[in-house]
Amino acid sequence: MFPLVGNVIRNAGSATLHHRSYCTPVVNIFDRNVKRLQRERAAKRDDVELYDYIKEEVGYRLADRIFDIKRQFANAVDLGAGRGYVTNHVLGETVQKLTAIDLSPAMLAQIKGSPGLDFSVREMDEERFAFEPDSLDLVVSSLSMHWINDLPACFRAVNRALKPDGVFIGAMFGGDTLYELRSALQLAEQERRGGLAPHVSPFTQIRDVGMLLNRGGFTMLTIDTDELVIGYPSMYELMFDLQGMAESNAAFNRPLHVGRDTLMAAAAIYRDMYARKEEGVSATFQIIFFVGWKPCASQPQPAERGSGTVSLKDLGKVMTPKGAGSSGCKS
């Protein structure tokens, strides 16, 4: 997703292709082992809390959306829990038992939970989400699913594990995330090298999230988006913070080296195109929030075709009471 400059974990290999009989072939874009190592390294930093500002904010907003559902969940899972960005804000009055899963054991070891919450941790790759069918009431995921290679398969696995009328609440980075950094690096590399390299990995577009959730078997979807615009002294501080968040590039085809001249040119372009009014530069993080429900007979169902009793041309008469005229002061 994000650039990793001067710190290569392993050589980039060609993307692997797996064929499945029930779906189109899946191209593995991200190296999950590299992502695990990045999270382990970030979790072991002494100043790891300094880089949690985005994930803590989104996790808090996601936990608040759980509170908006007026029910108590007996069994829940935090998918891609990290350092507990959602788990640390969920109260025991809302969730009786919560299991936090993540690829990184070092991240899981730092989850504190909230007072009164019965929670446990379990090391598990998000791509291999495996729980008993119809065993969960709630699955929540915050800023983790953008690193999953096969989102439709993950959504189907979540849907299988949920009980009927179970809910899946999530947040993931959207397609406009870090468009400033992407543009600056592309322009600089095209100028200096005469070509482009994938320094910033692709993100899911908001128009695709609903389709993917429908393919996964979810209904009554609610999808909205928000943007966090954060200021940094320069492009270099932004990239340093992304590394501290464990959000460095983990794509198989990521470049192994970025020249100093390219970086200096990118920083100059970034400062020239996306400077803040006060000082420094801006970086945009687009957050896609979604809610999907597993189908159940007790859920509201659409009326049968042809059962309508009001014509659309009379809709204004129905919504506007008779005798209700315009009111207000006339000049």
Residue 39 sits in a domain whose CATH number is 3.40.50.150
Give dist(CA 162, CA 147) in Å, integer.
22
Task: Report the alpha-carbon angle 77-148-121, nearest 5.
Answer: 30
User: What pLDDT sits at residue 256?
Assistant: 67
Q: Name the residue range of residue 220's domain.
A: 32-178+203-229+284-295
**Sign, Cα dihedral of 251, 228, 237, 107:** negative
Q: Is residue 324 part of a domain?
A: no
Q: Is residue 13 part of a domain?
A: no
Grouping H, G, I as helix, E, B as strand and the rest as coil, residue 32 is: helix
Is-contact 298 165, C-beta < 8 A?
Answer: yes
Say how many domains are in the chain: 1
DSSP state of 149: S
User: What is the bridge-based pairing of β-strands 95-102 and 16-18?
Assistant: unpaired
Q: Is residue 322 part of a domain?
A: no
**Cα atoms in the 13 Å half-sphere on the side-chain side of 128:** 7
Provide the 10 A C-beta neighbour count for residue 264.
14
For the chain, 331 residues long, give each residue's pLDDT as a single digit of tens: 444 443 333 333 444 444 444 455 667 888 899 999 999 999 999 999 999 999 999 999 999 999 999 899 999 999 999 999 999 999 989 999 999 999 999 999 999 999 889 999 999 999 999 999 999 999 999 999 999 999 999 999 999 999 999 999 999 999 999 999 999 998 998 888 777 767 777 888 998 999 999 999 999 999 999 999 999 999 999 999 999 999 988 887 777 678 888 899 999 999 999 999 888 999 999 999 999 999 988 888 777 887 777 787 887 777 766 555 544 444 4
Q: Is residue 330 part of a domain?
A: no
Q: Is residue 19 part of a domain?
A: no
- 248: which 2 tokens? 């460095």
**Burial class of residue 305, CB neighbours in 10 A (0-12, 13-18, 19+):** exposed
Q: How many Å is the Cα radius of gyration of the chain? A: 23
Phi-psi region of 165 (alpha: psi -120 to 50; beta: other; left: phi over 0): left
Distances (CA, A) of 86 to 56, 78, 275: 8, 7, 33
Q: What is the pTM of this model?
A: 0.81
Q: Is residue 136 part of a domain?
A: yes
Q: Is residue 234 part of a domain?
A: no
State in Å, rounded, how far the first CA of the chain is from the last one: 58
Distances (CA, A) of 279 to 102, 177, 265: 37, 21, 19
Q: Is residue 48 part of a domain?
A: yes
Grouping H, G, I as helix, E, B as strand and the rest as coil, residue 230 is: strand
Phi-psi region of 247 (alpha: psi -120 to 50; beta: other; left: phi over 0): alpha
